Amino acid sequence: MKRYLEYLIEWIIKGCGFISAFIVLMIVLFLFKEGISFLNSSPLEKNYGLFVSVNNPVRKLTDLQIKNIFDKKITNWSQLGWRNDSIRTIDINNIESIFTKEQLGTNYEYLSICINHYIDSIPGTLAFFSERLLSISSGTKEIEVDKISLWSFLSGEEWFPTAKPASIMGTLPLLLGTLIVSFFAILFALPLGLAASIYLAEIADERIRKILKPIIELLSGIPSVVYGFFGLVVIVPFLQRVFHLAVGETALAGSILLAIMALPTIITVSEDAIRTCPRAMKEASLALGASHWQTIWKVILPYASSGITAASILGIGRAIGETMAVLMVTGNAATIPHGLLQPVRTIPATIAAELGEAPYGGLHFKSLFALACMLFLITMLTNIIAERISAKRKLS
């Protein structure tokens, strides 16, 4: 009976493990399925198109060109390779300023006739309408729009997924913002965290350690929004005064705040790793004439390197994946950063800020899943690199 009970418990444990692995795998597959599905899609709204005169030799436009045309940054067809003629844009928003309601019809039943006639009479016209509403005549053609490619998604320098009529989905500013904020956060947190862990494990009195260790561990349980309020009230005004900035919400504010948030994890894990160093190794080093600091530097830290690496991984993961606190102190500006004293926007902050407003199943919705895929790959790559470094240290 006891043997059967053990078998049952063993199968329950195995089942829980398989179920957990299956759930994680399904989540990853769903994430990538949604994230990749928007590639090779048109940046225009679904069932919409751009229409011009058949005499217009321009055959294809990019999403950025379309945005600049409707933003009046490109105003002449000569800028796109045709003759010197002004570009006249027409869409559903300004249609009633061109035609009367009688001409359009009560339910816009004459819209197609009006638009085709307008394009015939004014060849420099660029019309943006639903393909269902507009029937193309012999004098009108639809312009081809470049599809969203993986390269344009990764290298694009502008992020305007809700831009009309064409979405602009360049993730380079978000990627650089994430990497810069995370890198400097770890650069600030790792030396401080390592120094604090050495102090707690090797230098501090046992009574002091018993007081400080629970306090540090308690800090890791504080909600990120509380850290965000702290950064908004303390760090942001401080940086604004010190560096004489117009606004204090910058990449540096995000890095400092993330460093503070990562410190409890780095200190706790590193301190536990340092304390696992065998007492015999310490005594042997001291018996050979090494000082306490030499023993820490030459014996204890190399022995605990794998644990310190694990602490760094956890700290980096906290920095890369943090959302609310970063959203509150970095300025939330999707522009390419040229320094630490400029506003930035990170990938997690973008997902948190925009997912609630993105229509389910739409292009914007799927692009946010693609950002989540990027974040997943960055974290996985960081873990692989850290594991390789840890393995090499163990072999050496």
pLDDT tens digits for range 304-345: 887 888 888 878 777 777 888 888 899 888 888 888 999 999
Q: Exposed, middle or buried, 172 (CB in 10 Å: 0-12/13-18/19+)? A: middle
For 366-380, give the DSSP string.
HHHHHHHHHHHHHHH
3-class SS of residue 51: strand
Cα-Cα-Cα-Cα dihedral sign, residues 198, 204, 208, 210: positive
Measured between its terminal Cα atoms, the distance across the chain in Å is: 49
pLDDT for res 180: 92
Question: Are the C-beta atoms of residues 146 and 62 closer than 8 Å to each other?
Answer: yes
Q: Please check whether the domain covering 172-395 is classified as CATH 1.10.3720.10.
A: yes
**Helix residue ranges, H only, the chain:** 2-36, 63-70, 101-104, 111-121, 150-155, 172-198, 206-219, 224-230, 236-242, 251-275, 279-287, 292-295, 301-303, 305-321, 324-329, 347-354, 363-395
pLDDT, position 217: 83
Domain boundaries, the chain: 48-148, 172-395
Nearest one of 168, 158, 150 to 62, comparing CA atoms? 168
Residue numbers of the chain with a pLDDT score lower than 50: none
Q: How far is CA 54 from CA 88, 110, 138, 141, 146, in A?
A: 15, 21, 8, 5, 19
Q: Which residue(s) pair with 159 in the sheet?
A: 169
Q: Are 63 and 168 in contact (CB under 8 A)?
A: yes
Can you give the length of the chain in residues? Answer: 396
What is the maximum alpha-carbon separation in the chain?
Answer: 101
User: Under a CB-based contact definition with an 8 Å cutoff, are residues 327 and 353 in contact?
Assistant: yes
Q: What are phi and psi of 107, to 5 degrees?
A: -110, 30
Tens digit of each residue's pLDDT (9 = 90 or more) over 28-46: 898 888 888 888 888 998 8
Is CATH 3.30.560.10 what the domain over 48-148 is classified as, yes or no? no
Which contiguous run of DSSP H or E holds residue 126? strand 125-130
State the pLDDT at residue 192.
92
Q: Two tokens at 38?
A: 């928007």
Q: How far apart are alpha carbons 257 and 250 in whole angstroms?
A: 11
pLDDT of residue 388: 73
Select from 304, 26, 92, 312 the least CA-distant residue to 188: 312
